[in-house]
Chains A and B, each alone.
Chain A
Amino acid sequence: MKYADEYRDKELAIGLARAIHAKADPARAYRFMEFCGGHTHAIARYGLEDMLPANVRMIHGPGCPVCVLPAGRIDMAIALAERPEVTLCVYGDLMRVPGSRGASLLKAKARGADIRMVYSTLDAIALAEQNPSRQIVFFAIGFETTTPPTAVMIRAAEKKRLSNFSVFCNHVLTPPAMRAILDSETPIEIDGFVGPAHVSTVIGTAPYEPFARDDGKPVVIAGFEPLDMMQAILMLIEQVNDGRHEVENQYRRAVTGSGNQRAIREVAEIFELRDQFEWRGLGSIPASALKLRPEFAHLDAEQRFVMAELVVADNPACECPAILRGLKKPVDCKLFGTACTPETPIGSCMVSSEGACAAHWTYGRFRDHQRRLAS
């Protein structure tokens, strides 16, 4: 597969693994958080953990928009989809996200709610055009990467004067979540961050400068192929060894310092910051999510259907808050693999394959038994 296999080359991987082993100082620990679920998935799927020294530990961050979506927003979406005039368009991975009391969009669909799985924003627009008598609502979700496509969709709906189309906006922002993790009450032991390259293709690398400058944390923006990850880890180790804390760009093939100005402008014209937004596992974070500007209120499903904000408390036994901050590992949670599995997720980390617990359960749980045997 051209343009992908090059970044999965075993020989290069072995070379990078050797370099990491050579550079990692056995006298200290390296704890790096890969913020994004895409990175978590790559680490688990390619088995990178086996190729790193024992003192280099990857902490899986909260960067999966599906995982961090709180139960209250799912309950709101279910209530919306149960309205007889509404057809709710969602991405497939949202279907099993748990709402309160075991509810999910999948179960709501089975009970008769009109919920359609779509693969792109354009599918939702097409559905609205084909069904003028239905209210088509698009469940918009994602970090900075997926916000521009939603913006394009909103422009298209405006242009086509679609009166039966609206957006349930759940777009969230990366830097405020990283800030919340660094500022959390319990001291966080993180020596550096791997930043998501696709977010930076839009926002650039500049928004991460404060973490390097003010918090003294090295940041490396990295791609999602396994070799990208290995190289980023090596770059972080070198920064730590040198006592540097800079924002470095591993993904020069697509990321620039200032990002995609046109996309940034378009997003800014259509969306504005919410004062607060609830994150599953992290709680309420100020200025961490987007809503439609008042000029676009007529396309905002929360306004059109006067949706009441629902807040549902996370399960108190769930250790996701500590896992998302790197304080605990999935196996430290008593729900992991018992009450909480990919089939019946409870916490954010188990919700999609990009969550820390789901990735460990799906790809890595054999290592727990190996460790137990070894000890």
Chain B
Amino acid sequence: MSMHQRRLDLKNGCVDLSHGAGGRAMAQLIAGLFHEAFGNEWLARGNDQSAFDVAAGRMVMTTDGYVVSPLFFPGGNIGSLAVHGTVNDIAMAGARPLYLSASFIIEEGFAFADLKRIADAMGEAARAAGIAIITGDTKVVERGKADGVFISTAGVGVLPQGLDLSADRARPGDRVLLSGSLGDHGVAIMSKRQNLTFDTEIVSDSASLHDLVADMVAAGGQGIRLMRDPTRGGLAATMNEIAQQSNLGFRLLEEAIPVKPAVAAACELLGLDPLHVANEGKLVAVVAPEVADAVLAAMTRHPLGRDAADIGEAVADDHRFVQMATSFGGGRIVDWLSGEQLPRIC
């Protein structure tokens, strides 16, 4: 039997069940598409796992799944989103991300060209973030058993000495800093959903935040109590989570919260509250009042924190209410999103 193997037809070919069967086709897909895109010394060795040196200090680990629909959206695709999202989960601990794993569940019939765009975007996002995707897995399921491709990741990073950020560390009097405008990712996704056609210039804010975080940590150190990236459920969910974990309340100022005019207009049209809409390149930090100015200044100096703002403060409150002074002059609660606003946003 000839050992000749036809090249992957990256232009017109598509994934079939043999690409997940453990045979030669799978090996070819992994080598020809994923290794090509992720290109690093660990993958080149072709093992089922990768060994790496551990830096001194405490490690952090996270895991995440990506099922976003559509797979391609203004400002990114499921691949870049998977890298940014995992990097950010590590970065929110104040940690420096090091390595990622990526597991793909691919639907039979999925075009190689699309898979390549996704893998290339992952590789590019990883290189831009200074990290490597060092191990992975590929499964193929029958047509109709998945929706194109789903990606699961894990990530590890290392914490700077002495840093311990956690959502139970907020204290009354702490300031709340937000790194930029709300709702860009959610509205970008909505504008692409097939049954929701309206034109906006909004692109997803999907980005790796660890570099911004490093600048913030340098400026504020342990004065930073905690950081969170307000993804699903938006800023409202994040603030309520922190209020629960730290057993206090928050007072936010609506006027101080940046929302782009086009995002505000789209939310108005759709009856959404920008505070409930997902972000993929924003963070909120609760910081001790004495370091707030320094941390905010570090944020605004960074391109991803240009529009950062001090949006309110933590207050003692047994009811753990997140309250907001509305820009109209009244007051209201900022509650959790109830029910499902938008399925499969990330």
Contact = CB atoms under 8 A, between A and B. Distances in A.
A119 B195 CA distance: 7
A362 interface: yes
B332 interface: yes
B47 interface: no
A343 B319 CA distance: 19
Interface stretch (B111-119, B283-291, B320-328): B320-328
Contacts of A49: 330
A365 interface: yes
A353 B335 CA distance: 11
A19 interface: no
A4 B330 contact: no
Interface string B245-262: 000000000000000010
A366 B330 contact: no
A319 to B, nearest CB: 20
Contacts, number: 70
A13 B328 CA distance: 7
A8 B327 contact: yes
Contacts of B332: 44-47, 363-364
Interface residues of B, number: 23
Interface string A119-136: 100010000000000000
Contact of B328 (A118, A226, A353, A364): A226
Interface string A1-38: 10010001010011001000000000000000000000
Given A10-B327, A226-B328, A342-B339, A366 B195 contact: no
Given A1-B265, A366-B323, A343 B338 contact: yes
Interface string A78-113: 000000000000000001100000000000000000
B329 A366 contact: no
A226 B330 CA distance: 10
Please report whether the interface of chain B is mostly helix, strand, loop or mixed according to DSSP.
loop
A259 B329 CA distance: 34
B339 A343 contact: yes
Q: Which of B323, B327, B329 has the most CB of A within 10 A?
A: B329
Interface in B229-274: 261, 264-265, 268, 273
B32 interface: no
Most buried by A among B264, B319, B323, B338: B338
Given A1-B261, A1-B264, A362 B335 contact: yes
A301 to B, nearest CB: 21
Interface string A330-347: 000000000001110000
B330 A48 contact: yes
Contacts of A343: 338-339
Contacts of A362: 333, 335, 338
Contact of A118 (B195, B327, B330): B195
B130 interface: no
Contact of B331 (A13, A50, A96, A341): A50
Contacts of A363: 332-333, 335
B321 A366 contact: yes
B328 A366 contact: no
B331 A123 contact: no
A337 B201 CA distance: 41
Contacts of B195: 118-119, 123
A369 interface: yes
Contacts of A240: none
Contacts of A312: none
Contacts of A322: none
Interface string B70-96: 000000000000000000000000000
A45 B236 CA distance: 14
B3 interface: no
A51 B329 contact: yes
B70 to A, nearest CB: 16
Contacts of A123: 195
Contact of A51 (B265, B268, B273, B330): B330
Contact of B329 (A14, A118, A365): A14
Interface string B328-346: 1111110100111000000
B196 interface: yes
Given A1-B264, A343-B339, A362-B338, A47 B330 contact: yes
Contacts of A8: 327-328
A50 B332 CA distance: 9
Contacts of B261: 1
B327 A95 contact: no
A272 B261 CA distance: 43
Contacts of B268: 1, 4
Given A1-B268, A119-B196, A47 B335 contact: no
A117 to B, nearest CB: 8
Given A48-B330, A96-B339, A366-B319, 12 more contacts: A8-B327, A13-B329, A46-B332, A50-B331, A51-B330, A123-B195, A343-B338, A362-B333, A362-B338, A364-B332, A366-B323, A369-B319
Interface of B: 195-196, 261, 264-265, 268, 273, 319, 321, 323, 325-333, 335, 338-340
7 contacts: A1-B264, A8-B328, A44-B332, A50-B329, A343-B338, A361-B335, A363-B335
Interface of A: 1, 4, 8, 10, 13-14, 17, 44-51, 95-96, 118-119, 123, 226, 341-343, 353, 361-366, 369
- CB-based closest 3 A-B pairs: A47-B330, A342-B338, A363-B332
